[in-house]
Amino acid sequence: MRFDELTENVTDTLRFTRQVPLLLGEPGIGKSSWTKALAEQLHTAVFIVSCNTLGDKADLTGGRLMPYQTEDGEEDYSQRFFPHADIADAIRYAAAHPDENPILFLDEINRTSTDITSGILSLSTERKIGNKQLPDNLWIIAAGNDKGNIISFDDASTSRFATFVLEPDATTFLTINPDTNIFVRNVLMQHPELIFCKTVRLAVENEDDDDDNNDAMVDLDEILDDNGTEIRQLTTPRTITAASNLLNNYTHEKLMAKLSNIRTVQDENISELQELLEGFLGKTQFTAYLLSEIANNINNVGVQNNTVSKPSCYDNLKAAPTVDVLNDMIAALTDEEKSKTLVYAIHEKADNTIMINTLLPQMTDLTPEDTKMLLRLYGADDLDEGNKQVFINNPSSLSQKYSAILVAA
């Protein structure tokens, strides 16, 4: 299931059943980020327990022997429970906000000990930890990795959850990460399938090939050592976010310097920027496309960040006396003129509702140049907010294509 399909299914599960949603997927695909975004959408708080950091069951339940006085005045001991700090905070928050549905997120539940897992299962089904009952309005969501498990659930354990096996998708990633670096955003828009990427490009000898192009795609799992113990980086939403944050903090000059600084690494001449990005994202196809995007467009983004020219036809279109006349004038434009006019209309600090809504039904796409310009203007916060919303809310296929990117601030 894609992340953009998940929200309704999870919230319906929590509202109408007693099952706890269990999000399964490979590490780093965005399970935690999605849960935080859900809490923000619900205008409530999320409390995260990283179960793989718990040492034993007592770290979860806080069971301790505590002294107490018996009826005859003697001192005795009884086991009392003090829930994990984040669980205790979740209980207090839920009790203080009965009109909300705060979320208790149990992460990495199958990458811990069997003792701790049994406590998690009881917490999920009985909604009780020690003598502490969870408030009815406190929602529980669990998450785990469907590969490389430390703990395998039996059928009885699995049946306690509503299981959702997830795959990352670029649309959701860009929606919940509006500050994604412009170069990263461009690559994800052009190659959304690389949001999770293990493939690397290797030069291999192919005797049957007569041409000079002997590149082949090889999956990362196929080139690990025999025991599968060699550590190789890969591209995931988590590593993409880290690389994006780094690039957002680089000046144009610093990025240019790292791109032009060539060094020899393991008998290969590569730029400092390539070495850096491969440290975040691995030697994957995503990294190759990102380096190409930066190299091809760094001067445009750095120098022309806010420069957008008014099309020569624009003033005549604005002067059209009626919508019908405007519609006829637009029909006579070339695709390139329509593309430039739309971008300028979204950018201009004026109410261009009629212009935008008349243009869109007669368009199928923007030119590559204008696509980059629109993204540059968005990244520089140089689009008119009202016009941007008109564009996003239009039902055309073109506006829907970009609606995940040009989200309201």
pLDDT single digits (tens) 316-354: 999 999 999 999 999 999 999 999 999 999 999 999 999
Predicted local distance difference test score (pLDDT) of residue 287:
92
216, pLDDT greater than 60: no
Q: Name residues whose C-beta falls within 8 Å of residue 13's C-beta, 6 or more positions apart in sequence.
A: 19, 21, 162
Q: 3-167 maps to which CATH number?
A: 3.40.50.300
- Judged against a pLDDT cut of 70, whether residue 409 lies above it is answered with no
The residues, ordered by sequence, that sit 6+ positions from 155 with a Cβ below 8 Å of its Cβ are none
Cβ atoms of residues 294 and 259 within 8 Å? yes
CB neighbourhood size of 253 (10 A): 9
| Residue 81 pLDDT class (50, 70, 90 cuts) | low
Burial class (CB in 10 A: 0-12, 13-18, 19+), 106: buried
Residue 78 host element (H or E): strand 75-80
The crossing angle, in degrees rounded to 10, of helices 31-41 and 6-16 is 70
Our CA angle for 177, 364, 6, nearest 5°, is 35
Q: Is the pTM of the predicted complex or chain greater than 0.75?
A: no
Task: Please check the confidence at residue 189 and state whether its pLDDT lies above 80.
Answer: yes
Q: What is the C-alpha to C-alpha distance for residues 324 and 319, in angstroms, rounded to an integer? A: 12
Question: What pLDDT does residue 293 have?
Answer: 87
Residue 70 has pLDDT above 70, yes or no: yes
Sequence spans of domains, the chain: 3-167, 174-303, 314-403
